[in-house]
Amino acid sequence: MNDKDFELLSQYLDGELDELSTRRVAQRLGSERELRETFAHMTAVDQSIRQVYSASEQVPAHIAAMLESATAAPPRRTTQWAFAAAASVAAAAGLMLTLQWQQPESAGPTVAEVLEITPSMASGWQPLADGRQIRPVLSFRDVDGAWCREYLVEDHGKGTRGVACRDQGKWETRIAVAAVIPGANDAFRPAGAGDSDAVADYTASRADGIALSASEEAKIIASDWQK
């Protein structure tokens, strides 16, 4: 595989080759394993991007800006294909992350919607539109004055512990680590020693005081987090 091969595969995938070149690439795909595997990977990326675009009518501003800067950057040798592929993957990843938080209302509650209106719970779960479950754990104000919430997410036996903060009316995750659900109960423990203090350390370093009591939290939620 070389830069020319990647360029040919990209053109073949987009239907930009003439008839003779198309036949030649097809013949090579049938006989060259590395070329075939690379093309399969490129096809999967292309399909992922198409699926994301079909679910969202608007590209997030920060992704659009990234793509504009990528196309404005000077080319390096003959590796434009690599730059374009990397930009496409980044765009897809950005769109997927955005869609996790901004799903259509008809799809059901998102993480952000649950954090906005659901009181913290010591047990139990709130179902999400994508099949996962979430449990808000506690709420606190950070040193910058933003409201933050620690939460747990269960995804078919896999767990995540995180902290999201409210910035200009939107909830954004500031830290998230893998967590384990031991046995059949719904308790969580960190996935590893390196993760054990990550969320706790973040909360300790960022919290401006202790976590809200249940009554204090209820008042803040009722005021749309404006107090």
Residue 227 forms part of a structural domain:
no
Residue 78 forms part of a structural domain:
yes
**Beta carbons within 8 Å of 91's beta carbon, 6+ residues apart:** 49, 59, 63, 66, 67
Residue 201 forms part of a structural domain:
yes
Q: How many domains does the structure of the chain reveal?
A: 2
* pLDDT of 16: 84
- Partners of residue 160 on adjacent β-strands: 153, 178
Residue 75 forms part of a structural domain:
yes
* pLDDT of 82: 47
Residue 145 forms part of a structural domain:
yes
Tell me: do 94 and 172 sit in the same domain: no
Q: Is the pLDDT of residue 177 over 60?
A: yes
Tell me: do 14 and 60 sit in the same domain: yes
Residue 57 forms part of a structural domain:
yes
From CA 48, how far away is CA 136, in angstroms rounded?
31
- Identify the domain boundary among 101, 123, 143: 101
Q: Once rounded to an integer, what is the mean pLDDT over residues 25-38?
A: 86
pTM for this structure? Answer: 0.51
- Identify the domain boundary among 67, 101, 135: 101
Q: Is the pLDDT of residue 28 over 60?
A: yes
Residue 73: count other Cβ atoms within 10 Å of its Cβ.
11
Q: DSSP for 199-222?
A: HHHHHHHHBSSSPPPHHHHHHHHH
Tell me: do 30 and 125 sit in the same domain: no
Mean pLDDT, rounded, of the chain: 75
Among the residue ranges 3-17, 70-84, 180-194, the one predicted with the least confidence is: 70-84
Tell me: do 31 and 95 sit in the same domain: yes
Residue 36 forms part of a structural domain:
yes
Tell me: do 86 and 115 sit in the same domain: no
From CA 99, how far away is CA 45, in angstroms rounded?
17
Count of alpha carbons within 13 angstroms of residue 120, beta-carbon side: 20
From CA 208, how far away is CA 185, in angstroms rounded?
32
* pLDDT of 76: 45
Angle in degrees, 0-180, between the axes of helices 80-101 and 33-55, rounded to the nearest 10:
40
pLDDT bin (cut points 50, 70, 90) of residue 225 is very high
First to last CA, the chain: 60
pLDDT in tens, 44-93: 777 766 665 554 445 556 556 655 655 555 444 434 444 444 444 444 44
**Beta carbons within 8 Å of 94's beta carbon, 6+ residues apart:** 60, 62, 63, 66
Q: Is 45 exposed, middle or buried (0-12, 13-18, 19+ CB in 10 A)?
A: middle
Tell me: do 217 and 125 sit in the same domain: yes
Tell me: do 75 and 174 sit in the same domain: no
In single-letter form, the type of residue at position 86 comes to: A
**Beta carbons within 8 Å of 120's beta carbon, 6+ residues apart:** 136, 137, 138, 139, 149, 214, 217
Sign of dihedral through CA atoms 202, 208, 209, 211? negative
Between 117 and 78, the more confident residue is 117
Tell me: do 72 and 175 sit in the same domain: no
From CA 105, how far away is CA 93, in angstroms rounded?
22
Tell me: do 120 and 86 sit in the same domain: no
- Identify the domain boundary among 101, 130, 152: 101
Tell me: do 81 and 157 sit in the same domain: no
Instruction: Give the structural domain span for 149.
Output: 109-222
Residue 95 forms part of a structural domain:
yes
Q: Is 134:111 a contact under the CB 8 Å cutoff? A: yes
Quote the percentage of the chain above a pLDDT of 90: 26
Between 2 and 94, the more confident residue is 2
Tell me: do 66 and 144 sit in the same domain: no
Tell me: do 133 and 164 sit in the same domain: yes
Q: Is the pLDDT of residue 138 over 60?
A: yes
